[in-house]
């Protein structure tokens, strides 16, 4: 970009090039880490993937991924969030950006970086400075009212994943209510109703991710490298 920033006064914040950065957020226990593991298992033979985890005590989720050997250790990075997982993905994303930058530096061929948030509440969402697209994971056992309650994660995420669909009859949740509420509050953006236990390959989420990656490659990664800071002094 050099000296020319076009009409955008904040061109320096628009990242071009590099891997697709995918945020994966959602309440505690909804299946974020299980989804990350599923995506890595399904895609790591055809894509170069790395993961950044943001857990309460640093290493719990990273250890889960290592134990399950879904990725080599050096492709998994754990970030400390100072008791505030939400701050670390939205308000001050520095620690996560540093982790992503280090992974990009280490693996020049990266296609996708998955940034998994610490378990949070329905108001959690990722900064656009950290991720290109974001997935919000809720689960059927959390109650079928969750999509109707909304919140930035449910309404704003690029993909809403409703996990544990197999549990619906056991917890008295109405899947039709969940999906129709979700459609209403999300203005038609995609919703994936899944059971990672019954479909460990996370088929619908993989399809969505591959489409996003294709879009990223065509519209973003092919563009010029990131611009210089604009003059202010």
Partner 1 sequence: MTAPPAGVAALLALADQRLPSGGHVHSGGVEEAVRGRLVTDGPSLRAFLHRRLLSVGRVTAGLAAAAVGLTAATVARLDAEADARTPSPAQRAASRAQGRGLLRLARASWVGPHVDLAWADLGARPHHPLVLGCAARAAGLGAGEAALVAAYLAVTGPATAAQRLLGLDPVEVAVATLDLGADVDAVARAAAAVAVAATPPSGWHAVPDDGDPLLDLLAERHAARGDRLFAS
Q: How far is the CB of 12 from partner 1 (least distance, A)?
A: 5
Q: Mask: binding to partner 1, 17-56, rule CB under 8 A, as x and -?
A: ---------------------------------------x
Q: How far is the CB of 55 from partner 1 (least distance, A)?
A: 10
Q: Which of 1, 14, 44, 84 binds partner 1 (CB under 8 A)?
A: 84
Q: Which stretch binds partner 1 (CB under 8 A): 17-25, 67-75, 82-90, 106-114?
A: 82-90
Query: 127 with 89: CB under 8 angstroms?
Result: yes
Does 100 sit near partner 1 (CB under 8 A)? no
Please report, as residue ranges, which positions from 54 to 73 form the binding site for partner 1 (by CB under 8 A): 56-59
Q: How far is the CB of 95 from partner 1 (least distance, A)?
A: 5
Distance between CA atoms of residues 51 and 102, nearest Å: 11
- Distance spanning both ends of the chain, measured CA to CA: 20
Q: Which is nearer to partner 1, 80 or 180 (CB)?
A: 80
Q: How far is the CB of 138 from partner 1 (least distance, A)?
A: 25
# residues contacting partner 1 (CB under 8 A):
25
Does 232 sit near partner 1 (CB under 8 A)? yes
Q: How far is the CB of 233 from partner 1 (least distance, A)?
A: 5
Q: Which is nearer to partner 1, 17 or 82 (CB)?
A: 82
Does 80 sit near partner 1 (CB under 8 A)? yes
Distance between CA atoms of residues 32 and 79, nearest Å: 16
* Residue in this structure with the two tokens 């993905």, named with its chain if needed: 89
Please report, as residue ranges, which positions from 1 to 20 form the binding site for partner 1 (by CB under 8 A): 12-13
Q: How far is the CB of 72 from partner 1 (least distance, A)?
A: 20
SS (H, E, C) the chain: CCCCCCCCCCHHHCCCCCCEEEEEECECCCCHHHHHHHHHHHHCCCCCEEEEECCCCCCHHHHHHHHCCCCCHHHEEECCCCCCHHHHHCCCCHHHHHHHHHHHHHCCCCCEEEEECCCECCCCCCCCCCCCEEEEEEEHHHCCCHHHHCCHHHHHCCEEEEECHHHHHHHCCCHHHHHHHHHHHHCCCCEEECCCCCCCCCHHHHHHHHHHHHHHHHHHHCCCCCCCCCCCC
Q: Name the site residues for partner 1 (rule: CB under 8 A).
A: 12-13, 56-59, 79-84, 87-88, 91-95, 97-98, 229, 231-233
């Amino acid at each position: 970009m050099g000296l020319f920033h076009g009409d955008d006064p904040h061109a320096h914040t628009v990242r071009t090039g590099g891997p697709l950065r995918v945020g994966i957020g959602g309440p505690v226990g909804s299946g974020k880490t299980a989804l990350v593991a599923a995506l890595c298992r399904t895609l790591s033979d055809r894509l170069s993937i790395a993961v950044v985890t943001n857990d309460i005590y640093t290493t719990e989720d990273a250890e889960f991924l290592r134990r399950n050997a879904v990725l080599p250790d050096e492709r998994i990075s754990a970030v400390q969030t100072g008791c505030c997982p939400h701050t670390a993905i939205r308000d001050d994303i520095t620690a996560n950006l540093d982790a992503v930058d280090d992974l990009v530096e280490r693996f020049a061929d990266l296609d996708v970086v998955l940034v998994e948030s610490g378990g949070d509440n329905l108001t959690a969402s990722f900064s656009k400075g950290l991720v290109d697209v974001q997935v919000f994971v809720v689960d059927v056992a959390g109650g079928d009212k969750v999509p109707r309650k909304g919140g930035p994660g449910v309404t704003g995420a690029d993909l809403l994943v409703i996990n544990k669909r197999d549990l619906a009859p056991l917890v008295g949740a109405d899947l039709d209510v969940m999906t129709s509420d979700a459609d209403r509050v999300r203005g038609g953006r995609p919703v994936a109703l899944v059971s990672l236990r019954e479909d460990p390959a996370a088929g619908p989420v993989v399809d969505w991710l591959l489409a996003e990656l294709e879009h990223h490659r065509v519209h973003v990664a092919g563009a010029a490298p990131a611009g210089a800071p604009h003059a202010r002094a």
